[in-house]
Amino acid sequence: MESAIEIRDLRKSYGDVQALDGVDLTVPEGSFFGLLGPNGAGKTTFINVLVGLVRGTDGDARVFGHDVQEEYREVRDRIGLAPQEFNVDRFFPIREVLEHKAGYHGIPKARASERTEEVLKRVGIYDKRDTRFDWLSGGMKRRFMLARALITEPDLLILDEPTAGVDVQLRHELWETIIDLNQRGTTILLTTHYIEEAERLCDEVAILDSGRVLDVASPEELMDRGTDDVVVQLREEPTAVPDFAALDERVDAVELDGTRLVVTARQGGLVAPDVVRRLDDAGHEIVDLEIQRTSLEEVFVEMTRAGEGRATPEVSSQ
């Protein structure tokens, strides 16, 4: 399968500040790819290199096989970008802003008008088509940013914090739209502070910190690297429990508090049956069992902790 994005040793410096420090990354075509990182990690710089708003200092950046500088027209024709900052022409009604954008991509006026209607309906702000951007509510502005990115029917949709500051309902609506696009074959590159967003949506995520890619894996794989809690509620308080840590190397800790036993282990879902069996064998009656999985957020914080001081971790969940 062709790579939607192929990055090799990409560097960008601003004076002494190394915004991108040798980034290597491959985003497969058709994937839903997340880019996670604390503030200042280089996420927006990375995106801006792809669309030509930032010039890399060194390295190679390709989109669908085209060099982002040498073949910028081919690259930009295939990208739809919804940036975090509102960079919209506020002089024209939003309908015309979309028609203009479509025109820059070579879409004839009649078709551009049709597409404008379609995308405004799709994101639910068609009745605001003759309104200027400034007069839209915050949520509508976010919807419009998505509409503008979609107007050219891009093969690669880049969403930089697309749900920042929007309410839960709208966030879910936007997710549905994006998922639908991905299922129809559009490659999605998503940056987000909402870890749950990446956990739910992305096939793969790259953790970026201080201009470097720390890891690339699926959210599941990353979460497997964290520790889960297997919480067992016993009928009676035991005098002793099996030494799970000695019996299974995946177990990190065992804590007994009255009738409540907590086994902290990697891959808790796989460890839990063993815990239950051993407790049963030892004659303990189990009344409740719960596996508290580690979150991607916890893994993320752990991975970027080493970068503290260089950047400011700022993650939030809903």
Partner 1 sequence: MRFDSTGFLALLRREVLRFLRRPRNTFLPPFITNVLYFSVFGVILGERINEIAGVPYILFILPGLVVLGAISNAFENTSFNIFHGRWNRYIEEVLTSPLSYQTMVGAYVLAAAIRGAIVGILIALIGAFFTAVGVVQPLYLVAFGVVITTLFASLGVIAGLWADDFDDLTMLNQFILRPLVFFGGVFYSLNELPETVQQVSLLNPMIYMVNGVRYGFLGVSEVDPNASLAVLSALTVAVLGLDIALFQRGYGLTD
Say whether residue 28 binds partner 1 (CB under 8 A). Answer: no
Helix and strand counts by DSSP (H, E) for the chain: 11, 14
Closest to partner 1 by CB, 19 vs 198, is 19
State in angstroms the smallest separation of the CB of 198 from partner 1: 24
Say whether residue 116 binds partner 1 (CB under 8 A). Answer: no
One-letter amino acid of 211: G
Q: Among 22, 30, 59, 72, which residue interacts with partner 1 (rule: CB under 8 A)?
A: 72
Are the beta carbons of 94 and 120 closer than 8 angstroms? Answer: yes
Say whether residue 14 binds partner 1 (CB under 8 A). Answer: yes
Give residues 170-209 in contact with partner 1 (rule: CB under 8 A). Answer: none
Q: Among 2, 8, 58, 104, which residue interacts with partner 1 (rule: CB under 8 A)?
A: 104
One-letter amino acid of 227: T
State in angstroms the smallest separation of the CB of 52 from partner 1: 6
Listed in sequence order, the residues at least 6 apart from 200 whose beta carbon sits closer than 8 Å to its beta carbon are 175
Give the span between the Cα atoms of 165 and 161, in whole angstroms: 9
Of the candidate spans 26-34, 99-107, 224-232, 287-295, the one that interacts with partner 1 by CB under 8 A turns out to be 99-107
The structure tokens 């050219």 sit at: 152
Closest to partner 1 by CB, 99 vs 224, is 99
Are the beta carbons of 30 and 185 closer than 8 angstroms? Answer: yes
Are the beta carbons of 4 and 155 closer than 8 angstroms? Answer: yes
How many residues make up the chain in this entry?
318
Give the span between the Cα atoms of 91 and 80, in whole angstroms: 22
Of the candidate spans 29-37, 76-84, 210-218, 222-230, the one that interacts with partner 1 by CB under 8 A turns out to be 76-84
Say whether residue 93 binds partner 1 (CB under 8 A). Answer: no
Q: Among 5, 61, 68, 101, which residue interacts with partner 1 (rule: CB under 8 A)?
A: 101
Contact code string over 133-152 relative to partner 1, x by CB under 8 A: ---------------x----
Please choose, from the candidates 305, 304, 227, 223, the residue with its C-alpha nearest in 3D space to the C-alpha of residue 36: 304
**SS3 state at 294:** coil
Listed in sequence order, the residues at least 6 apart from 124 whose beta carbon sits closer than 8 Å to its beta carbon are 143, 173
Closest to partner 1 by CB, 88 vs 213, is 88
Q: Among 90, 235, 260, 277, which residue interacts with partner 1 (rule: CB under 8 A)?
A: 90
Are the beta carbons of 232 and 242 closer than 8 angstroms? Answer: no
Say whether residue 52 binds partner 1 (CB under 8 A). Answer: yes
Sign (positive or negative) of CA dihedral 128, 129, 132, 136: positive
State in angstroms the smallest separation of the CB of 159 from partner 1: 14
For partner 1, the binding residues (CB under 8 A) are: 14, 45, 48, 51-55, 72-74, 76-77, 79, 81, 83, 85, 87-92, 96-97, 99-109, 112, 148
